[in-house]
């Protein structure tokens, strides 16, 4: 039957992709060395072929999942015939093997896009970029084929049914969070490839940064959304109401985000002013290296985490070699080829250049802080100094002040001029915004909670200090245009991208501040007709019933909520599920989302006699956390459609038109 050969087709497609990756890694680079343009031209078709074959492999694995082919070990261990089709499709990346396949598919996708959109760039540059992308790709394909083959069969004892997907992963969050995150991780490979290509070619001018900037923006946008989705998923699925745990794997995604943010800003300086050249290259290398390290940490099992996949030292060793070779070689290349004499482009101590430098330094310090906290347990364990874990107190104690400091400089940055500017001019521009931020920030907690709170004020002042100068800057820029409408229309997408990105961070900051300080949480015992009041809402349990889902049994309670002010009522249904195949219990949280507050009810233990432990939480402004992240991502994407990147595309379009008859 055709179904039975699908996994073999997928396996074969994987090997084809590997062969193409190797050709793409070797031939174009050899072409550059020997100046043969035919060899250089090998890159584009190979990149396309790799993408096609990996897509085929991926479709084959998905088909095996959808058709319940339990002769495939990966399917038998992670899926189940009772699973709804959309979780079967997303279960593909809910496990180690499948998720590396998705990783590779995305890498090939980015590689294909990078070669398709770069036809107007110098040929040797494109050849080098394609070659570097293919080296990374070949490494991962070898990793899949040698240690993590998703098409491994269970023959001849084919199980009648699968083991079921981990219930934690049976959720919309799983459908979207990992792909977004991987898109971000992998996207930085393009920027990395551009940086390495520039180092190899010895052409560390502003040109490569202009080519690399759109890719960095898009990758960063994906990573931002991916992290936010992960936080949102943890919030509603794990049943604790937390949104960030400083878990090693969360940190692993935050690290490239921090250096990626620094990279976006450093790329801007290099493109506009030609300075920070080596620094930008180093950030590009670090960002991708940290993405790879994140992959290593998740898959090798060296750290304990809620995310860790099965602990298999041989896989860990392979990724470590991959990581080691990539990072060591690129850093070595950097050490040998970084510009010998950096062109000192002078700038005053008060200028946008210097402020961006401070921003970069702060982001790097934050990265090192998180990195140390994440790796410290591992290092102590390796030196036989005992097993410890570094918890939120460490991270909060260092990260919060650094963030506030970063915001202090962020407020100044957009209003400052390149090169140099007088302190007086900056003060004139910003004193009103500063005073406004201070007054509103200090008074807001008094008005909101009737009591002053240092942390809330600090957070709000920082957020307002980002927003108000931006508002003033937009108004200033429009003033010269005559009418406000015309002025707003004249501002470039790149500028709007910056405004949106900074605004997003401010929104996230408000969310973090308010929810951390004004969160109300109560653990109560509830039985039918018991009423509990939390933060001005009355919760009454109306009913306690059982139901049967497609692959689980559930105890459901029906809770009526009455709002204090206007007496409006609505219903909430928290659930406790028992998944049949694995016998794993899961809490299904009931959430009532709102722009200014979430209500959160989680069912806990059965206390007997028809009563249940319930955790009720009131979470003000928690949505702002993720809303801010979406704004930041939107800003990054908006900046990409700016004219100066489009010009490349138009020129390419014109060239194609001439060729096509």
Residue 320 as a binder of another protein (CB under 8 A): the answer is: yes
Does 173 sit behind a cis peptide bond, omega within 30 degrees of 0 on the bond before it? no
Cβ 256 to another protein, closest distance in Å?
15
**Distance between CA atoms of 231 and 177, rounded to whole angstroms?**
9
Residue 531 as a binder of another protein (CB under 8 A): the answer is: no
Smaller CB separation from another protein, 328 or 427: 328
Q: Do residues 588 and 576 lie in contact, with contact meaning Cβ atoms separated by under 8 Å? A: yes
Total residues at interface with another protein (CB under 8 A): 47
Cβ 305 to another protein, closest distance in Å?
9
Neighbours of 484 (CB within 10 A): 12
Tell which positions 27-86 bind another protein, by CB under 8 A.
70, 76-77
Residue 302 as a binder of another protein (CB under 8 A): the answer is: yes
Q: Do residues 233 and 626 lie in contact, with contact meaning Cβ atoms separated by under 8 Å? A: no
Tokens linked to 597: 């507050």
Smaller CB separation from another protein, 115 or 189: 189
**Distance between CA atoms of 262 and 283, rounded to whole angstroms?**
7
Give how far the C-alpha of residue 519 lies from the chain's centroid of Cα atoms, to the nearest Å: 26
Smaller CB separation from another protein, 169 or 221: 169
Smaller CB separation from another protein, 76 or 416: 76
Q: Which of 37, 328, 428, 569 binds another protein (CB under 8 A)?
A: 328
Q: What angle do CA 303, 308, 313 make, to 5 degrees?
A: 70
**Distance between CA atoms of 66 and 68, rounded to whole angstroms?**
6
Residue 313 as a binder of another protein (CB under 8 A): the answer is: yes
Near another protein by CB under 8 A, which window of 17-25, 101-109, 376-384, 495-503? 376-384
**Distance between CA atoms of 555 and 648, rounded to whole angstroms?**
59
Smaller CB separation from another protein, 66 or 581: 581
CA-to-CA separations, 211 to 121, 216, 635, in angstroms, rounded:
8, 10, 19
Residue 161 as a binder of another protein (CB under 8 A): the answer is: yes
Residue 109's nearest CA partner among 22, 50, 168, 171 is: 50
The neighbouring-strand residues paired with 611 are: 608
Instruction: Provide the 3-class DSSP secondary structure of residue 321.
Output: helix
The neighbouring-strand residues paired with 7 are: none
Tokens linked to 217: 């923006």
Residue 570 as a binder of another protein (CB under 8 A): the answer is: no
Residue 248's nearest CA partner among 321, 188, 309, 187 is: 309
**Distance between CA atoms of 232 and 348, rounded to whole angstroms?**
42
Q: Which of 89, 168, 338, 402 binds another protein (CB under 8 A)?
A: 338
Near another protein by CB under 8 A, which window of 38-46, 336-344, 598-606, 634-642? 336-344
Q: Which of 183, 195, 281, 375 binds another protein (CB under 8 A)?
A: 375
Give how far the C-alpha of residue 338 lies from the chain's centroid of Cα atoms, to the nearest Å: 29
Residue 89 as a binder of another protein (CB under 8 A): the answer is: no
Cβ 269 to another protein, closest distance in Å?
18
From residue 484 to residue 523, the character string flagging contacts with another protein as x (rule: CB under 8 A) and all else as - is: ----------------------------------------
**Distance between CA atoms of 450 and 132, rounded to whole angstroms?**
59
Near another protein by CB under 8 A, which window of 86-94, 157-165, 396-404, 563-571? 157-165
Q: Which of 89, 207, 358, 378 binds another protein (CB under 8 A)?
A: 378
**Distance between CA atoms of 509 and 162, rounded to whole angstroms?**
44
Residue 110's nearest CA partner among 92, 88, 129 is: 129
Q: Which of 2, 38, 157, 450 binds another protein (CB under 8 A)?
A: 157
Cβ 651 to another protein, closest distance in Å?
37
From residue 577 to residue 596, the character string flagging contacts with another protein as x (rule: CB under 8 A) and all else as - is: ----xxxx------------
Residue 154 as a binder of another protein (CB under 8 A): the answer is: yes
* Residue numbers at the binding site for another protein (CB under 8 A): 70, 76-77, 154, 157, 159, 161-163, 278, 282, 289, 296, 300-304, 310-311, 313, 316-317, 320, 323-324, 327-328, 331-332, 334-336, 338, 340, 342, 375, 377-379, 381-382, 387, 581-584
């Amino acid at each position: 039957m055709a179904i039975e050969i699908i996994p073999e087709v997928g396996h074969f497609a994987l090997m084809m992709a590997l062969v193409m990756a190797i050709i793409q890694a070797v031939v174009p680079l050899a072409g550059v060395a020997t100046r043969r343009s035919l060899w250089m031209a090998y890159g584009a078709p190979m990149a396309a072929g790799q993408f096609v074959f990996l897509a085929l492999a991926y479709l084959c694995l998905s088909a095996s999942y959808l058709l319940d082919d339990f002769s495939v070990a990966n399917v038998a261990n992670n899926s189940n015939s009772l699973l709804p089709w959309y979780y079967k499709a997303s279960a593909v990346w809910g496990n180690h093997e499948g998720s590396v396949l998705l990783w590779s598919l995305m890498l090939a996708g980015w590689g294909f896009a990078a070669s398709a959109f770069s036809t107007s760039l110098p040929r040797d540059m494109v050849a080098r970029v394609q070659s570097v992308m293919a080296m990374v790709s070949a490494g991962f394909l070898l990793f899949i084929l040698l240690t993590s083959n998703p098409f491994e069969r269970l023959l001849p004892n084919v199980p009648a049914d699968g083991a079921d997907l981990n219930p934690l992963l049976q959720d919309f969050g799983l459908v979207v969070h990992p792909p977004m995150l991987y898109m971000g991780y992998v996207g930085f490979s393009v920027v990395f490839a551009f940086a390495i290509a520039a180092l190899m070619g010895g052409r560390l001018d502003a040109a490569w940064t202009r080519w690399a900037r759109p890719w960095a923006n898009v990758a960063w946008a994906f990573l931002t959304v991916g992290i936010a989705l992960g936080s949102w998923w943890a919030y509603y699925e794990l049943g604790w109401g937390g949104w960030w745990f400083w878990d090693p794997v969360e940190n692993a995604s935050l690290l490239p985000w921090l250096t990626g943010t620094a990279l976006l800003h450093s790329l801007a300086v290099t493109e506009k002013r030609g300075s920070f050249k080596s620094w930008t290259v180093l950030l590009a290398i670090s960002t991708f290296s940290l993405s790879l390290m994140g992959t290593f940490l998740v898959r090798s099992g060296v750290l304990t985490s809620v995310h860790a996949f099965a602990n298999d030292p041989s896989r860990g060793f392979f990724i470590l070699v991959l990581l080691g070779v990539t990072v060591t070689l690129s850093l070595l290349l950097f050490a040998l080829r970084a510009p010998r004499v950096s062109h000192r482009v002078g700038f005053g101590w008060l200028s946008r250049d210097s402020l961006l430098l401070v921003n970069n330094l702060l982001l790097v310090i934050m990265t090192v802080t998180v990195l140390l906290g994440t790796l410290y347990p591992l290092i102590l364990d390796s030196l036989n100094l005992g097993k410890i874990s570094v918890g939120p107190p460490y991270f909060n104690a260092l990260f919060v002040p650094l963030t506030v400091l970063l915001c202090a400089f962020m407020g100044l940055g957009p209003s400052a001029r390149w090169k140099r500017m007088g302190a007086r001019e900056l003060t004139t521009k910003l004193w009103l915004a500063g005073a406004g931020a201070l007054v509103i920030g200090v008074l807001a907690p008094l008005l909101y909670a009737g009591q002053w709170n240092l942390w809330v004020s600090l957070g709000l002042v920082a957020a307002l200090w980002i927003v108000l100068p931006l508002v003033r800057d937009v108004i200033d820029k429009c003033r010269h245009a005559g009418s406000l409408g015309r002025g707003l229309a004249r501002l470039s997408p790149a500028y709007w991208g910056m405004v949106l990105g900074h605004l997003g961070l401010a929104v996230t900051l408000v969310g973090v501040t308010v929810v951390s300080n004004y969160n109300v949480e109560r653990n109560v015992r509830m039985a039918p007709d018991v009423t509990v009041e939390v933060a001005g809402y009355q919760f009454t349990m109306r009913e306690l019933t059982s139901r049967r889902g497609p692959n689980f049994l559930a105890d459901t309670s029906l809770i009526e909520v009455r709002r204090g002010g206007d007496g409006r009522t609505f219903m909430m249904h928290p659930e406790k599920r028992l998944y049949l195949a694995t016998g794993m219990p899961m809490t299904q949280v009931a959430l009532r989302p709102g722009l200014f507050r979430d209500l959160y009810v989680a069912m806990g233990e059965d206390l007997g006699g028809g009563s249940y432990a319930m955790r009720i939480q009131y979470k003000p402004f928690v949505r702002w956390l993720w809303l801010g992240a979406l704004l930041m991502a939107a800003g990054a994407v908006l900046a990409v459609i700016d004219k100066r990147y489009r010009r490349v595309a138009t020129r390419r379009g014109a060239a194609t038109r001439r060729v096509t008859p």
